[in-house]
Amino acid sequence: MIDLKRVRTFGLIAGGTLSFVAAIGMVESFNERTLINPGITMGLLLILGIAAVFGYIVAAGKPNPLVETARDSRSGGIAGGLTGAIAGVVTSLFVLFVDTFDVSEFFPNMREPLVEAMTFELGVPVGLLVLTAVVTATAAAGGAFHGMSDSFRAGMSRALGWVVAFALFELVVSEILDFADPLVDLIYAPRGGLQPWAAVIIGALAWWLSTRYKGRGEAFTERVKDSEAGSRLRRSVILFGVAAVIILPMIVGGVVNELLITSGLFILMGLGLNIVVGLAGLLDLGYVAFFAVGAYGTAILTSPSSPAFAPGLSWWIALPIVMVLAAIAGLFVGTPVIRMRGDYLAIVTLGFGEIVRILLLSDWLTPIFGGAQGITRIPGIPVPGAGTISGTDPQLFIYFTFMFVLLAAYISYRAQNSRIGRSWAAMREDEDVAEAIGISTVQAKLLAFVTGAVIASFAGALFSAKVGTVFTNSFDVLVSIIILVVVIVGGMGSIRGVVVGALVLIGILGGPKSPGLLAEFSEFKLLIYGALLVYMMLKRPEGLLPSVRRSRELHGEDLTQDAWLDKGGDFTGDSAEEEATT
Amino acid sequence: MKKSRSVRLIAALGALALVIAACGDGGGEFEAGELGAVEVGADEAIQIRSLNAITGEVAFLGIPNENAIRMAVDDYGQIAGRDVNVGTGLDDLCSADGGQSAAQTIVADSAVVGVIGTSCSGAAAAASPLLSDAGLSMISASNTSPSLTSDLEGTAGENYYAGYYRTAHNDLFQGQAAANFVFENLDLTKVALIHDGDPYTNGLTTAFENAFTELGGEIVVHTAVSVGQTDMVPVLTEVAAGEPELIFFPIFPAEGTAIAQQVSGVAGLEDVVLMAADGLSVTNFLDLPESENMYFSGPDTRFDENTNEATDLNGEQFLADYESEFGEAPSADFWGHAYDATTMLLTAIEAVAVEDGDSLWIDRQALRDELNSISGFDGLIGSITCDEYGDCGANVISIFQHNNLDDHQASKANILYTYSG
Amino acid sequence: MTTTTSPSKTSRRFRFNWVDSFLWFIRVSALIAIVIGIVGSVQLFLEGEGPTAEQWRDLVISGLSTGFMYGLIALGYSMVYGVLGFINFAHGEVFMSGLMVSLIAATLMFENGFWDANPTLALLIVLSISMLVSTLVAVLAERIAYRPLRGAPRLIPLITSIGVSFFLQYAFAGIFGVATRSYPPAPGNLGNDVEFLGIAIEGTKLLVVGVALISMVGLWWFVAKTKTGRAMRAVAEDKEIAGLMGINVDRTIVTTFAVGGAMAGVAGLLWALLFRAVDFLTGFLPGIKAFTAAVLGGIGNLPGAMLGGVLLGLFENVGPLLVLNGLGIPAVSQLKDAVAFAALVLVLVFRPTGLLGERLGSEDRA
């Protein structure tokens, strides 16, 4: 049974989505990256991916807990195909519109290059038919996929996943396989893209492995989870992890290490903000101010060309001073906002963050902070016997980042499971109750602010030493928001979540002032971050890797933050997807 | 900046590996200098990179540079039978962190010989130590901060690193040129300065202030706006309080537009003369009716008659080619600088490349020496000579009055004053 | 947790009095700085330095007109906060979207001469497009992003609205490009000075104040006198009981968003007349400032939002020159936004419920 209304709705949404990604120029810029040589570009993957996902969603039907959804690949395929056909026609009409009318005065991307990209350079009538056919076929395949057997689905998704991963992460793969240069040359075409036969082999291998070792991975994870702390299995897993962390930077090259360092700085800030937002439940939108305190503090104390006061200290001596400064800043920001309602606090902290940036940049304080000219010539981190380590040596600098991430993770972990952690938990559940049972909320809140600030100052100190120059444009409000996205996507209150969130978002998509592994995304990452924030809040408010503690906490009837997160945000009973269809 | 040991070690190992590789190929004649050399095989391309602000608010500056680099590479053609590859255009995001991570990408590819970039001075300060350490040569088309080269009197700037060159002028030139023009040609003595907190605009207003007070003029107000500000009445009132005869605001279009539009509404500024710099001599701003009759200082862009000696292309042909290829005129003034920077790099590579068996060898130190010795190179921007700190600009600053709203090129040709170092 | 510094609590918990001491320290030092600054400026004025009387007057007029525009945007924040109890962080982008789309119509009309030939009609067209688009965006955001979150803890919809805000900003950047665009100059003879109460004021500024006041009165009438308005007040007081009384809560909330969006659309027209320059980030700062204005006046309180807007407009226009200049700080205009944010902090430190007091539903007072 095909739900035609659903097909129509999702067909239109899919067509709108395809037109939108074309209109913002995403297809064109993704086309510059070849995934499989020749011809399969990232832009094509984007079009196919959107079509397939919508085909699948339509075939999957409305989630209904009472009735097991029928899984039938034929009707799924037809539903998907119909959806795709509608989407294809809508998109073609859009492309036709762009081709016919010159609207580039107002919409700079709506010009011939867009038409060329969307019609696969076949020109208008032919290319549009091809586009519609391709979208229809992919959506049909996506729909049919929903009805396939579980083993086929597992095999297929692994195979596609691995091929796409190998193609997208060409840089990492070729750096890891650097010792086996001939192999890299075999897998990849000279200047980018998987070789077609390599794609086939990788896909087949992934499929075979998925059927051969079906369920083994999950079983192993379960075994590790169930094993006792300190058992041999646990210890060997931890040992393996530590060894990987130590060896990885040596294998991969400068670029991947650079990305890891940038992600590491965001892990640090994410961990700090996680204490403030995730544990204590205080939404701080001016968190970047503490990062700036760390960075500017280090710059002034260590750089010989700091304008007013240049003691030229060693980084290691500057660090504790900077930590104290950050703690004071935390108290200074925390105290006036301590009695404010949660959402006032968000705006006031945002204001504080901007005030700090504006003051650092101002002509008034230029004699101290360098103003527009920033502070340059910040030395790196001195290490006895190895000179000074700065961003020019990413392979060594990464170890400092690791060190501080470990330290911050340890602080978070200890804080979470201590008396103060329990006070925070009580406070974010209900402040009045917390107060009534004798918890000093003032103290708990200030401690959260101060701890968060000190962790951010680590990131700032590392940043100064790494980049060697500080300018205020590295500390705008965008940074605060992106750290928040990292925490939300990873999972509020979850240390693992923040680590994974930062690696995925900052490492792959890119940070506020740095491109990620997929540099193609840099123009669109903020759009994606915005969409991701909304999506996560609607569909998975507990984050990618929710905190264990949270899922253990009881499900209360009260609409508290934790209860909401545990239930996956589904308070109204009907999911958001349903809302969108009606 | 001290080079760390590990980098030296890596460089040494790299050089060793190259030597061994070279021996293995049976040639073994070529001896690399202290920075090592790049080997380009028989069917390989010579790798250079572009690094510009190609996304975000400063894209109007970076994109013409990027386009001009690609045109120059196409026009130049092959070197010793090998293509030149620019790769994907890298983005400096007009920030220090962006410049550093892009530089990291560049140095990771040991086949890269040189870089054309960055667009923004802030990005260059973080990128050039990395590129310099790795033995690369970089030529920027639009960095103007004195700290990247020298104070023009023989003292190296704070952020000068060997291997850094630029075809753009040093801010000190432009500050001097604009000050001279205002003081001598316009005969005005009271000036207000507005910058926007960007290192470039702040550097330029500071250079202007120093030059102008030296000449005997008075800076009545030196103030700033912040990026994103739209209500300019307060800043203009602050300026008006100083009763200036001229406002020099060498900032960027978003805030510059607001200033130009609101200045006439502020009491006391009805007759003030407006002057801006190259950051505002861009299409969007010149389209504004309010920008009519404003003065603009900037690199002399009368390139029509100038011919690039490497490609035999003149400025007029360049603009025609650019329009036909990209569908619009360049949105900023540094296209000629980018084109010349690229041809300079390619000419230098061709000069130092040594063929040895099947391979072509490019010695990194020799390349820098070659660039340093460039003298009288005819480019679109004029005759180019590099000084020992990498300032290679033609160093001609001109000031035009915008008298033709419909034809910006005609306006830009309405030059009232020219200054050359 | 109450928003005010409750005296009983502080006396009970004597050992934390240093928080209050710190707050008093902030209050006193802010007052001292402001007084010294103003005295310094007055002194400068008497010495004939600094802005002239005429320039001060213009500054005040300009601050007032900007302030009325902030007030209009603030109405949207205040209404949504009053009814739903959350800050719609994306409201600035609602404002920007109407502004950006109606720019197309304005440019086309300017190019074919209609703009100057029929100023009134042209402005009405721009106004209606701007209101329509802003309303549509506000309602869509409610439908897709906020409705499923009804009943969630209050931080959740706030974070969602930050996401909506970013999505809208960069969607507009992608479609319209990142370049700053410009509205054509005020049509007809609007840009000329008009004699009003004996002083010459730019016509556009007078129009801005007029339109804002008319909208304000219209909105007050809508909320106080119509059936829908009564429903809105009922929902603001208590959603469940309002539902039991036969009020369609969902529709009322949509209406709230729509009206807020329409006001943002009107503000769009005023922006087009005052500042003309538009880009995808145009909504961000005015949005935050309008929220500040709403808090300043007392959130949920409609006349308060207007008053807050006007005061904030004055603060940030006059404040830097009046206070900071008097303190001898150079380049004060650069600190304009910092002054606005500092005003927010100080208001919340001095009077957390705003000048005219909050008007919130019982469930939001918690």
Q: Which of B233, B235, B284 sits opposite C179 (nearest CB)?
A: B284
The range of the structural domain enclosing residue A131 comes to: 1-148
pLDDT at res. C6: 43
Question: Do B120 and B189 have their domain in common?
Answer: no
The position carrying tokens 């992106």 is: A482
The position carrying tokens 């002054």 is: C339
Question: Do B391 and B407 have their domain in common?
Answer: no
**Residue A582: pLDDT over 50:** no
pLDDT at res. B296: 94
**Helix (H, G, I), strand (E, B), or coil: what is residue A231?**
coil
d(CA C9, CA C256): 37
Whether B376 has its CB under 8 Å from any CB of chain C: the answer is no
pLDDT at res. A66: 62
CA distances from C274 to B150, C64, C95, C204 (A): 44, 12, 15, 7
B222 beta partners: B193
* Count of domains forming chain A: 2
Cα C362 off chain centre by: 25
Whether A561 has its CB under 8 Å from any CB of chain C: the answer is yes
- Cβ-Cβ pairs closer than 8 A, B with C, add up to 110
Burial of C203 (0-12, 13-18, 19+ CB in 10 A): middle
Q: Averaged over A173-199, what is the pLDDT?
A: 84
Q: Is residue A510 part of a domain?
A: no
**Helix (H, G, I), strand (E, B), or coil: what is residue C278?**
strand
Are B163 and B368 in contact, with CB atoms under 8 Å apart?
yes
Question: Which CATH number does the domain housing residue C287 bear?
Answer: 1.10.3470
Whether C202 has its CB under 8 Å from any CB of chain B: the answer is yes
pLDDT at res. A579: 37
- C144: tokens are 């897709």
Please report, as a single letter, which amino acid is at residue A497. Answer: G
**Helix (H, G, I), strand (E, B), or coil: what is residue B136?**
coil
* Interface contact flag, C331 A538, Cβ < 8 Å: no
Question: Do A119 and A259 have their domain in common?
Answer: no
Question: Do B164 and B286 have their domain in common?
Answer: no
Burial of B406 (0-12, 13-18, 19+ CB in 10 A): exposed
Whether the CA torsion C60, C62, C68, C72 is positive or negative: it is negative
The range of the structural domain enclosing residue C240 comes to: 63-364
pLDDT at res. B24: 43
Q: Averaged over B411-421, what is the pLDDT?
A: 86
**Residue B23: pLDDT over 50:** no
d(CA A535, CA A388): 44
Whether B235 has its CB under 8 Å from any CB of chain C: the answer is yes
DSSP of A547-572, one letter per residue? -HHHHHS---SS--HHHHHHTTT--S
Per mean pLDDT, which of A424-433, A451-460, A509-518, B152-161 is the most reliable?
A451-460
Q: For residue B97, which of C177, A379, A358, A462 has the smallest C-alpha distance?
A: A462
Bigger pLDDT: A480 vs A255:
A480
CA distances from A322 to A305, A314, B219 (A): 18, 12, 38
* Count of domains forming chain B: 2
Q: Which of C150, C164, C288 sits opposite A572 (nearest CB)?
A: C150
Contacts of B14 in chain A (CB under 8 A): none
Contacts of A529 in chain C (CB under 8 A): 163, 166
Question: Do B23 and B76 have their domain in common?
Answer: yes
State chain A's mean pLDDT as an integer: 86
Model confidence pLDDT, tens digit, residues B284-306: 889 888 899 999 998 887 788 88
Q: Is residue A473 part of a domain?
A: yes
Are C98 and C133 in contact, with CB atoms under 8 Å apart?
yes
Model confidence pLDDT, tens digit, residues B78-128: 998 899 999 888 888 888 888 988 898 898 888 899 999 899 888 998 899
Residue A289 banded pLDDT, cuts 50, 70, 90? very high
d(CA C341, CA C292): 8
pLDDT at res. C82: 85
| Interacting residues of A294 by C-beta distance below 8 A, sequence separation 6+ | A322, A326, A456, A457, A458, A459, A460, A461, A463, A464
Bigger pLDDT: A345 vs A70:
A345
Choose one of A425, A458, A485: the last residue of a domain.
A485
* Count of domains forming chain C: 1
Residue A576 banded pLDDT, cuts 50, 70, 90? very low
**List of E strands, B99-203:** 112-117, 137-140, 164-166, 190-195
pLDDT at res. A578: 37
Helices (H), B159-306: 171-180, 199-215, 233-241, 253-262, 283-286
pLDDT at res. B328: 78
Question: Do B15 and B162 have their domain in common?
Answer: yes
- Cβ-Cβ pairs closer than 8 A, A with B, add up to 132
**Helix (H, G, I), strand (E, B), or coil: what is residue A382?**
strand
Chain B stretch 187-206, residues whose beta carbon is closer than 8 A to a beta carbon of chain C: 197
Whether the CA torsion B152, B155, B156, B157 is positive or negative: it is negative
| Interacting residues of A242 by C-beta distance below 8 A, sequence separation 6+ | none
Q: Is residue A325 part of a domain?
A: yes
Q: Is residue C22 part of a domain?
A: no
Question: Do B82 and B227 have their domain in common?
Answer: no
Instruction: Please work out, in degrees rounded to the nearest 5, the angle formed at the alpha carbon of residue B325 by the alpha carbons of B321 and B327.
Output: 110
Residue A339 banded pLDDT, cuts 50, 70, 90? confident
Q: How many CB atoms lie within 10 A of CB A458?
A: 29
CA distance to partner chain A, nearest, from residue C250 (Å): 12
Kindly report the three-state secondary structure assignment for every residue of B25-48. Answer: CCCCCCCCCCCCEEEECCCCCEEE
DSSP of B369-401, one letter per residue? HHHHT--SEEETTEEE---TTSB----EEEEEE
Q: Averaged over A118-127, what is the pLDDT?
A: 88
Selected residue of C289, C334, C339 to mutate for chain B interface (largest B Cβ count, 10 A)? C334
- A234: tokens are 């646990």
pLDDT at res. A63: 66
CA distances from C186 to A344, B274, C272 (A): 37, 22, 8
Q: Is residue C58 part of a domain?
A: no
Question: Do B77 and B94 have their domain in common?
Answer: yes
* Interface contact flag, A472 B197, Cβ < 8 Å: yes
**List of E strands, chain C:** 181-182, 193-196, 199-202, 277-278
Question: Do B160 and B238 have their domain in common?
Answer: no
- A312: tokens are 């030229």
d(CA B239, CA B315): 39
pLDDT at res. B188: 94
**Helix (H, G, I), strand (E, B), or coil: what is residue C356?**
coil
Question: Do B200 and B293 have their domain in common?
Answer: yes
d(CA A514, CA A506): 8
Q: For residue B88, which of B66, B61, B71 has the smallest C-alpha distance?
A: B66
Model confidence pLDDT, tens digit, residues A7-64: 999 999 999 999 999 999 899 889 888 898 888 899 999 999 999 999 999 888 776 6
| Interacting residues of C30 by C-beta distance below 8 A, sequence separation 6+ | C346
Are A376 and A382 in contact, with CB atoms under 8 Å apart?
no
Q: Averaged over A308-315, what is the pLDDT?
A: 88
Whether the CA torsion B120, B125, B129, B130 is positive or negative: it is negative
Contacts of A343 in chain C (CB under 8 A): 86-87, 154-155, 158
Q: Which of A341, A527, A537 sits opposite C174 (nearest CB)?
A: A527
What percent of chain A shows pLDDT beyond 70? 92
Q: Is residue A273 part of a domain?
A: yes
DSSP of A252-266, one letter per residue? S-HHHHHHHHHHHHH
pLDDT at res. B21: 47
Q: What is the pTM of this model?
A: 0.90
Bigger pLDDT: B164 vs A310:
B164
Q: Is residue C202 part of a domain?
A: yes
Whether B267 has its CB under 8 Å from any CB of chain C: the answer is yes
B296 beta partners: B276, B400
pLDDT at res. B27: 44
Q: Is residue C327 part of a domain?
A: yes
pLDDT at res. B22: 45
Q: Is residue A48 part of a domain?
A: yes
DSSP of C86-108, one letter per residue? S--TTHHHHHHHHHHHHHHHHHH
Q: Averaged over B378-383, what is the pLDDT?
A: 90
Q: How many CB atoms lie within 10 A of CB B213?
A: 13
Selected residue of C333, C336, C337 to mutate for chain B interface (largest B Cβ count, 10 A)? C333
Please report, as a single letter, which amino acid is at residue A506. Answer: I
Q: Is residue C239 part of a domain?
A: yes
Instruction: Please work out, in degrees rounded to the nearest 5, the angle formed at the alpha carbon of residue B66 by the alpha carbons of B36 and A527.
Output: 110
All partners of chain A with 3 or more CB pairs under 8 angstroms: B, C
Choose one of A469, A485, A501: the last residue of a domain.
A485
- φ, ψ of residue A149 in degrees (nearest 5): -70, 155
Choose one of A148, A166, A183: the last residue of a domain.
A148
Maximum CA extent, chain C: 72
pLDDT by position in tens, chain C (length 366): 444 444 444 444 445 577 888 888 888 999 999 999 999 999 988 888 888 888 898 899 999 999 999 999 999 888 888 888 888 899 999 999 999 999 999 999 999 989 888 888 999 999 999 999 999 999 999 999 999 888 788 788 889 999 999 999 999 999 998 888 889 888 877 777 777 777 778 888 888 889 999 998 898 899 888 998 889 888 888 888 888 888 888 899 999 999 999 999 999 999 988 888 888 989 999 998 998 899 888 888 888 999 999 999 999 999 999 999 888 888 888 999 999 999 888 888 888 888 887 776 544 544
Through-space distance between the first and last CA atoms of chain B, rounded to whole angstroms: 30
**Residue B4: pLDDT over 70:** no
The range of the structural domain enclosing residue B352 comes to: 5-170+302-395
Question: Which CATH number does the domain housing residue B257 bear?
Answer: 3.40.50.2300
Question: Do B270 and B307 have their domain in common?
Answer: no
Q: How many CB atoms lie within 10 A of CB A91?
A: 27
d(CA A179, CA A173): 11
Contacts of C49 in chain B (CB under 8 A): 241
Question: Do B372 and B402 have their domain in common?
Answer: no
State chain B's mean pLDDT as an integer: 87
Q: Is residue A178 part of a domain?
A: no
Question: Do B19 and B110 have their domain in common?
Answer: yes
Contacts of A523 in chain B (CB under 8 A): 55
Q: Is residue C79 part of a domain?
A: yes
Q: Averaged over A557-577, what is the pLDDT?
A: 51
Q: Is residue C185 part of a domain?
A: yes
Q: Is residue A17 part of a domain?
A: yes
Q: For residue B50, which of B142, B187, B171, B170 has the smallest C-alpha distance?
A: B142
Cα A69 off chain centre by: 32
